[in-house]
């Protein structure tokens, strides 16, 4: 089984971002970037399936600028076999990424496509679902467990009402949730070895895909400052305040 994993380059979650002066977006100058945490979980899931003998190859794909090679190298250092960069300087929205990934899937013919459930920069949570629709494949979102049984995949999903397990035929699209696993630590020796692994670069224009933006960001603002807390004199007053709040909701 070949597994294809999509990864995205995002701002490091530990970095405090600033809004640009013109409110057009976030200032990325001199900001530490990293692999999207949910995509990292998806890569770890693919590698574990391969280590169990359930997969033969793990291919990682990223869409974006040349700088996205960094996250591909990280995924290769984790244990992926080869990487593909779909390079473009254009703004990529979820539908555009799904279309580009569709082209790669059609070229690579993987049995399983793994993605993070969402990217932490825009929190769209759309690419996996759009990709499954474009490919007309079964999908399971918010996966917290993945198991292969013969020719089928059993996926446990995190839902608002609890957990559910679905059985899927292959090929399929699965998006990873936080509880799926804890990604392994990438060591320096593995990072050095990753430099020797194949990493192909494709021009997004060569895929003949319409990646034009479908919406425009009107403005970006920082959240309003949080109001200061209030100290109460005793427990009775606290309980009374909580009752007032509960009755007003």
Q: Digits of tens for pLDDT over the chain (249 positions)?
A: 899 999 999 988 888 888 887 887 777 778 888 999 999 999 999 999 999 999 999 999 999 999 999 999 999 999 999 999 999 998 899 999 999 999 999 999 999 999 999 998 888 899 999 999 999 999 999 999 999 888 899 999 988 888 899 999 999 999 999 999 999 999 999 999 999 999 999 999 999 989 988 888 888 887 788 888 888 889 999 998 888 877 766
**What length is written for the chain?**
249
Separation in Å, CA 142 to CA 2, 98, 116, 160: 21, 17, 8, 11
Cis ω before 171 (30° cut-off from 0): yes
**CB-CB contact of 77 with 46 (8 Å):** no
Q: What is the CATH number of the domain that holds 23?
A: 3.40.50.620
- Kindly report the pTM of this predicted structure: 0.84
Residue 238 belongs to what domain range? 2-248
| Predicted local confidence at residue 241, as pLDDT | 86
**CB-CB contact of 150 with 37 (8 Å):** no
State both tokens at 174: 């699965």
Within its chain, how far is the Cα of 40 from the centroid? 7
> Shortest CA distance to 9 belongs to which of 112, 106, 116?
116
| Predicted local confidence at residue 31, as pLDDT | 84
| Predicted local confidence at residue 249, as pLDDT | 64
Residue with tokens 């920082």: 222
**CB-CB contact of 194 with 77 (8 Å):** yes
Separation in Å, CA 119 to CA 45, 111, 164: 17, 23, 23
How many domains is the chain built from? 1
């Amino acid at each position: 089984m070949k597994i294809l994993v999509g990864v995205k380059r995002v701002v490091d979650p530990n970095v405090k971002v600033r809004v640009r002066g013109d409110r057009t977006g976030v200032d990325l100058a001199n900001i530490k970037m990293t692999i999207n945490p949910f995509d990292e979980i998806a890569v770890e899931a693919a590698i574990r399936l391969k280590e169990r003998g359930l997969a033969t190859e793990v291919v990682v794909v990223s869409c974006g600028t040349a700088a996205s090679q960094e996250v591909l190298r990280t995924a290769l250092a984790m244990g992926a076999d080869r990487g593909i960069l779909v390079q473009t300087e254009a703004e990529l929205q979820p539908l555009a990424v799904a279309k580009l990934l569709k082209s790669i899937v059609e070229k690579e013919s993987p049995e399983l496509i793994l993605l993070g459930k969402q990217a932490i920069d825009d929190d769209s949570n759309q690419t996996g679902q759009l990709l499954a629709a474009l490919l007309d494949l079964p999908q399971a979102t918010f996966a917290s467990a993945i198991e292969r049984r013969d020719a089928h995949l059993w996926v446990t999903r995190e839902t608002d009402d609890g957990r559910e397990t679905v059985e899927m035929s292959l090929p399929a699209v699965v998006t990873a949730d936080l509880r799926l696993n804890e990604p392994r630590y990438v060591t320096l020796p593995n990072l050095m070895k990753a430099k020797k692994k194949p990493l192909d670069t494709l021009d997004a224009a060569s895929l003949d895909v319409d990646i034009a933006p479908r919406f425009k960001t009107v403005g970006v603002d920082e959240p309003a400052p949080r109001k200061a807390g209030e100290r109460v004199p005793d427990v009775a007053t606290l309980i009374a305040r909580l009752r007032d709040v509960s009755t007003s909701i």
